Structure 1
């Protein structure tokens, strides 16, 4: 019987060792899984966001600025990168934005916009410059020529040369004429490309000229100088209805051309001239996240000087006016940075933290259930041990000798050892250990009572010696039982 108990105990020990190994491997696997998930989340959270920006045509100032911006973003290795989508013109860039094939687009504020387009950055401000030649002096004449067109109202019936072949410039001229009381249909227009300035200056059928661009634009300055040499000193035409135009068409703003802005000899104009302007914008769809747009806005602002070293025109990039009502709304990401209402880290990611805690709580519960499942054999065996002790308590009452009691106590001692190992391994809980203690207490009482009965009977010396040993073992077992409880 002793050899059988030893084999059983050895088998239990081997099984427990295998379970410990499996549990350790499972814990390691779960740990690696959580670590891997955290690493992946960290990688995707910290890697730069790449935005597609549509701009065109190639070689234009807009294209050069965006290319320089893309290079600056890449070299700084910050939170946003740019991928340039080169288009044939602004209209195509805006179409890509509206179709969702671009995240950002460069376009003039008075063009047809996608319904959900919003302003991110003012790339530059385009001023309308209208002028007419005064005519050349005749040979030997000392009289200064008088321009036949002195104001916009005089343009009716005269042809205007417009720089830039975009339909937006011709449409803008019609707005100006209508607001100034001139029938736009009675003012014919001829449009010239930016590479046709000399051809425009030689065209004698033209009575006035129009350019739309930044005040420091070389194209506008060259056009003024070329027409002055060919047709005489320019007379700059004031748009007196500029404020009315700005009120009626929110995409335009009332502005002034400062004196001597165009470098010449002498510098022109000799006084400030009232006009209108239209913004050239970097646009985004409303669906683009606030965090991404805010990061892009902050980054371009920080790198503006670096971009301007490559393309001087980049210095004109500025923030949109958040206090002014405009037809194109300002993206919430840009507005948050400008107004100082950008959400904090906890505001942005607080929900994710709570979600992570919820997941960890679920993992903990799942781990506890899994431990219970893996330890189900130990719990079943502990129940079996308890039932064995209860069964032995019944057998104790009919034991014929002290030797039989000693044998049952040894068996119980082995059960106690296994039970305590189960408890140390976490296979059983304190409640189960308490129930086991009740069964053990019942067994000890039964042994004590039966031993007292056997002592009361006539004993031989051998039996007396065995009884003494039995009493010592019983006392030892009780002490161990108390420690286990």
Structure 2
């Protein structure tokens, strides 16, 4: 009994421990950068929201110098999640979880300067006319320079014939206001304040900037799958008149939340579910969270989707019972088998008691036959006392579980018959004369009359 109880407690404890470890919060490291970027602010808002909601998945941000550094951390296995640019080299162990935001390339030319002593800038209305001019790129990341080179090459412009200057995003408006370039390129979301401020800074003397359309966006997307053909709607950057005053064709790329390929499907599915469940709450404090979208689940996607994220998107996420039903079933089977084994072992340990009780029952039946032949009340009393001892031992065996209720019933029948036999024999002996009793006893002792 104690062995069976210990086995049951061990299995229950194992199941309880497994449930605790399955349900405890999981902390995922997420690499994001640079500092003061919109990506970092979104991740910080999500981290706080997950903690306040006591979510199963928690985030631990790791600040980096930018998407390239974040991608390298993921490639080295030093983080679980990372925010990367889709137009940079994607680590081989990275799989998409969500699209954080989409960015558009904005090319524009400031209006010509007016006023006495000011020389009018070159007239640029097309991308192909950028050769021989200076182009300012907003942001220090080399990825934006590579983006410009892709656009120039599509229009047959040798990047070597274009002077490219970069300045920090924080100094974009001041650089544009100082007319440090003939044209400018910015890459960011449509509602980017940095881009809007830089365009506003290029508006002076009542003139409006000229936006350069990338009419070959479809061709660029065909040759470079990380880019997509897109449009900049009229008035996206505010102003009066609208900036731009008409829809402008361009290319776009995405910032992705990616996970290590070897990260648990269950964990990634839980993170994706939490991300989209809490997005609405984060939007009220950080509107950029509204740009978070589900990943591309097509097989030919530029970044393959993580199976856990795909399960959430396709509605095939497994519940707790789906994931652990096999373990629970095998646990119950093991519990049943151990219970049966424990019962057999307990019965095996009590086989000697059962054998002894069986011998006592046989002795009772022998005394039953002897009582019917006895010629002495003293002998009957002696057998009666022995029957009481047998009864006591039998009840002890029954309480200890050595014998079953059926065996106890059979013993009770035999004991009842014995008591009747003793009572009948005593009544017969009491009705016989003393000399007859002695003669009968002598006859049974010697075998002669």
Give TM class, smaller chain: 0.7 to 0.9
1:461 aligns with 2:434: yes
Superposed CA deviations along residues 346-393 of structure 1, whole A, max 9, x for unmatched, are 432321221221221233124314422553552353355467668879
Equivalent residues in 2 for 1:369-448 (5 A)? 369-382=344-357, 385=360, 403-404=378-379, 407-408=382-383, 410-429=385-404
Task: For 1:257 and 1:408, locate their aligned partners in 2 and report how far apart those are by CA, in whole Å.
Answer: 112
- How far off its partner does 1:215 sit? 0.8
| Aligned 8 A contact 1:179 1:241 in 2 | yes
| Aligned 8 A contact 1:147 1:235 in 2 | no
Equivalent residues in 2 for 1:38-187 (5 A)? 38-139=15-116, 148-187=123-162
Task: For 1:203 and 1:150, locate their aligned partners in 2 and report how far apart those are by CA, in whole Å.
Answer: 21
- How far off its partner does 1:249 sit? 2.1
- How far off its partner does 1:297 sit? 1.9
| Aligned 8 A contact 2:215 2:249 in 1 | yes
| Aligned 8 A contact 2:122 2:182 in 1 | no
Secondary structure in 1 aligned to 2:125?
Answer: coil
1:268 aligns with 2:243: yes
Deviates more, 1:342-351 or 1:186-195: 342-351
Task: For 1:160 and 1:463, locate their aligned partners in 2 and report how far apart those are by CA, in whole Å.
Answer: 143
Deviates more, 1:165-174 or 1:284-293: 284-293
1:311 counterpart residue number? 286
1:210 aligns with 2:185: yes
| CA-based RMSD | 3.9
1:329 counterpart residue number? 304
TM-score between both structures, scaled by the size of structure 1: 0.77
Secondary structure in 2 aligned to 1:228?
Answer: coil
Secondary structure in 2 aligned to 1:82?
Answer: strand
1:227 counterpart residue number? 202
Task: For 2:31 and 2:264, locate their aligned partners in 1 and report how far apart those are by CA, in whole Å.
Answer: 18
Cα distance change on mapping 1:199 and 1:324 into 2, 3 Å: farther
Which blocks of at least 5 consecutive residues in structure 1 are unaligned? 1-22, 468-485
Secondary structure in 2 aligned to 1:365?
Answer: helix
Cα distance change on mapping 1:462 and 1:234 into 2, 3 Å: farther
Q: Return the structure number with greater relative CO, CA threshold 8 A, min gap 6.
A: 2
Task: For 2:403 and 2:397, locate their aligned partners in 1 and report how far apart those are by CA, in whole Å.
Answer: 6
| Aligned 8 A contact 1:133 1:231 in 2 | no
Aligned equivalent of 1:320, options 295, 306, 312: 295
Task: For 2:437 and 2:211, locate their aligned partners in 1 and report how far apart those are by CA, in whole Å.
Answer: 135
| Aligned 8 A contact 1:132 1:147 in 2 | no
Cα distance change on mapping 1:399 and 1:247 into 2, 3 Å: farther
2:446 counterpart residue number? none
Deviates more, 1:340-349 or 1:246-255: 340-349
Aligned equivalent of 1:254, options 206, 223, 229: 229
| Aligned 8 A contact 2:107 2:185 in 1 | yes
Superposed CA deviations along residues 418-470 of structure 1, whole A, max 9, x for unmatched, are 234423542235797799899x79x97xx99xx8xxx99xx7538759x9xxx
Task: For 1:42 and 1:83, locate their aligned partners in 2 and report how far apart those are by CA, in whole Å.
Answer: 24
| Aligned 8 A contact 1:119 1:328 in 2 | yes
Secondary structure in 2 aligned to 1:229?
Answer: coil
| Aligned 8 A contact 1:121 1:281 in 2 | yes
- How far off its partner does 1:227 sit? 2.8
Task: For 2:246 and 2:122, locate their aligned partners in 1 and report how far apart those are by CA, in whole Å.
Answer: 17
Superposed CA deviations along residues 150-201 of structure 1, whole A, max 9, x for unmatched, are 2111122322211111121112222222222222333232221112224532
- How far off its partner does 1:69 sit? 0.8
Cα distance change on mapping 1:260 and 1:202 into 2, 3 Å: closer
Which blocks of at least 5 consecutive residues in structure 2 are unaligned? 441-449
1:188 aligns with 2:163: yes
| Aligned 8 A contact 2:114 2:205 in 1 | no
| Aligned 8 A contact 1:129 1:212 in 2 | yes
Task: For 1:415 and 1:460, locate their aligned partners in 2 and report how far apart those are by CA, in whole Å.
Answer: 33
Task: For 1:27 and 1:344, locate their aligned partners in 2 and report how far apart those are by CA, in whole Å.
Answer: 32
Task: For 1:460 and 1:197, locate their aligned partners in 2 and report how far apart those are by CA, in whole Å.
Answer: 137
1:359 counterpart residue number? 334
